[in-house]
């Protein structure tokens, strides 16, 4: 069975880092006989320049047909003056909504070789390996009605609606339980069930799902406590599942426990397990074109793609092991450089991962 991967390099450092991840994917494709085929398309500013739209119909069409998508990053100062609806970011949002990528997976892993990059004490973060599963297409970010209205008193009032249907909660819950099954078998559902009715329902549904995953230990935590626990004792967590807004905040918090933006991957999945994989960072216009960007977040995103969308755990593990090996060798791009490290370029880092494979 042939499966297709769509590459969307995007803008800024996007093309540089995706090029390295592409080489790594070609290598494992051959080594593990995965039968993957590859295609590329334009998105973001690159698409605006070529076709006057951040998400050309051809790109969306290819994205719908692909088994998985690997994206670099979009945006940059060149397009900042465009109106909201025409900006590069619209390309990304358009892909997320059109493909219904409701499950955002953001692992926060501290590589022991980079322990000094974290702002927390080594004993608090060493060995950290947690996964935040954030609902991405519902909740208060999308609830209707919303807006700013004029009250009879003459005062203006801003309002949003926080809502989740049972099916929306159930499908994100399933993704989280399944992820926990593949990892440390612990799932913590984060809500505000003492104040918000939406999350009372959220908690009920998670409890209902529990019987389908008897090997996973489910716990619940209020979001304010979760924010505190994440910096106090982050290693108590394995998988965290939460709604869109809480997940937005907690995933950034968790990501920063590791201290290095150039190392953090992400996945956004739909119910068919089709997914879009991308580094957490942006297009880094300040270093674009210099060949110094860290390609590892994108390479690790490619490993996530193999694991979650393509069911190729061995190939994924091989990439992760190769990344760990190059870090062991002391190879460092500028963003993760520390004393004693050997400074390498984007391409040299990619080549080192290839040799380690």
Positions that interact with ligand NAI (CB under 6 A): 13, 17, 73-76, 89, 92, 261-262, 278, 281-287, 293-294, 297, 335
Task: Provide the minimum distance between the beta carbon of 247 and Mg ion in the complex, in angstroms, as a whole number.
Answer: 9
What residue 248 binds from ligand NAI, Mg ion, none (CB within 5 to 8 A, per partner kind)?
Answer: Mg ion
Q: Which is nearer to Mg ion, 196 or 245 (CB)?
A: 245
**Is-catalytic flag, 277?**
no
Was 19 annotated as part of a binding site?
no
Was 335 annotated as part of a binding site?
no
Type and span of the H or E element at 137? none
Calculate the alpha carbon distances from 257 to 102, 252, 306 in Å. Answer: 25, 9, 25
* 49, 58, 224, 328: the active-site residue: 224
Q: In this chain, which stretch among 51-59, 240-248, 257-265, 266-274 interacts with Mg ion, using CB under 5 A?
A: 240-248
**Dist CA 55 CA 86 (whole Å):** 9
H-helix segments, the chain:
14-31, 45-51, 57-65, 89-98, 122-125, 166-182, 197-210, 223-232, 244-256, 296-308, 313-328, 346-356
**Is-catalytic flag, 224?**
yes
Task: Provide the minimum distance between the beta carbon of 291 and ligand NAI in the complex, in angstroms, as a whole number.
Answer: 11
Q: In this chain, which stretch among 106-114, 149-157, 191-199, 242-250 interacts with Mg ion, using CB under 5 A?
A: 242-250
Residue 278 is a binding residue for Mg ion (CB under 5 A): no
Residue 104, strand partner residues: 134, 268
Was 84 annotated as part of a binding site?
yes
Residue 134, strand partner residues: 104, 242
Classify residue 257 as exposed, middle or buried by CB count within 10 Å of its CB (0-12, 13-18, 19+).
buried
Was 294 annotated as part of a binding site?
yes
**Is-catalytic flag, 342?**
no
What residue 22 binds from ligand NAI, Mg ion, none (CB within 5 to 8 A, per partner kind)?
Answer: none
Q: What is the dihedral of CA 321, 324, 325, 331, to 10 degrees?
A: 150
For residues 241 and 147, is the Cβ–Cβ distance under 8 A?
no
CA proximity to 164, closest of 118, 200, 194: 200
Q: Which is nearer to ligand NAI, 54 or 173 (CB)?
A: 54
Q: Which is nearer to ligand NAI, 198 or 344 (CB)?
A: 344
Residue 238 is a binding residue for Mg ion (CB under 5 A): no
Q: What are the structure tokens assigned to 173, written together?
A: 């819950």
Residue 248 is a binding residue for Mg ion (CB under 5 A): yes
What residue 261 binds from Mg ion, ligand NAI, none (CB within 5 to 8 A, per partner kind)?
Answer: ligand NAI
CA angle 269, 146, 163 (to 5 degrees): 50
Give catalytic residue positions: 141, 192, 224, 248, 252
User: Residues at the annotated binding site?
Assistant: 76-89, 96, 106, 134, 224, 248, 252, 282-294
């Amino acid at each position: 069975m042939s499966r297709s991967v769509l590459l969307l390099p995007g803008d800024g450092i996007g093309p540089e880092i995706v090029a390295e991840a592409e080489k790594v994917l070609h290598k494992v494709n051959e080594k593990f006989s995965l039968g993957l085929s590859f295609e590329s398309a334009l998105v973001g500013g690159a698409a605006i320049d070529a076709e006057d739209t951040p998400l050309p119909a051809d790109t969306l069409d290819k994205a719908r047909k692909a088994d998985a998508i690997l994206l670099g990053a979009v945006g940059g100062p060149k397009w900042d003056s465009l109106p909201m609806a025409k900006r590069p970011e619209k390309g990304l949002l358009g892909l997320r909504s059109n493909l219904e990528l409701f499950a955002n997976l953001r692992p926060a892993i501290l590589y022991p070789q980079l322990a000094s990059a974290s702002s927390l004490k080594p004993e608090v973060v060493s060995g950290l390996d947690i996964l935040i599963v954030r609902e991405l297409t519902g909740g208060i970010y999308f609830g209707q009605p919303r807006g700013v209205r004029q009250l009879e008193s003459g005062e203006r009032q801003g309002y949003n609606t926080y809502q989740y249907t049972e099916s929306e909660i159930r499908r994100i819950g399933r993704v989280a339980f399944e992820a926990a099954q593949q990892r440390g078998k612990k799932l913590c559902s984060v809500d505000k069930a003492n104040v918000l009715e939406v999350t009372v329902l959220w908690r009920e549904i998670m409890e209902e799902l529990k019987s389908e995953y008897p090997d996973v230990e489910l716990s619940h935590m209020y979001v304010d406590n979760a924010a505190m626990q994440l910096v106090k004792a982050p290693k108590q967590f394995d998988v965290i599942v939460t709604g869109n807004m809480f997940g937005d905040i907690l995933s950034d918090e968790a990501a920063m426990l590791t201290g290095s933006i150039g190392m953090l991957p992400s996945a956004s999945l739909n119910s068919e397990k089709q997914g879009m994989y991308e580094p957490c960072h942006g297009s880094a216009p300040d270093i674009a074109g210099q060949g110094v960007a860290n390609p590892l977040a994108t390479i690790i995103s490619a490993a996530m793609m193999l694991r979650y969308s393509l069911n190729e755990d061995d190939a994924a593990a091989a990439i992760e092991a190769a990344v760990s090996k190059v870090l062991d060798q002391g190879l460092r791009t500028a963003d993760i450089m520390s004393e004693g490290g050997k400074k390498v370029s984007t391409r040299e880092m990619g080549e080192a991962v290839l040799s380690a494979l």
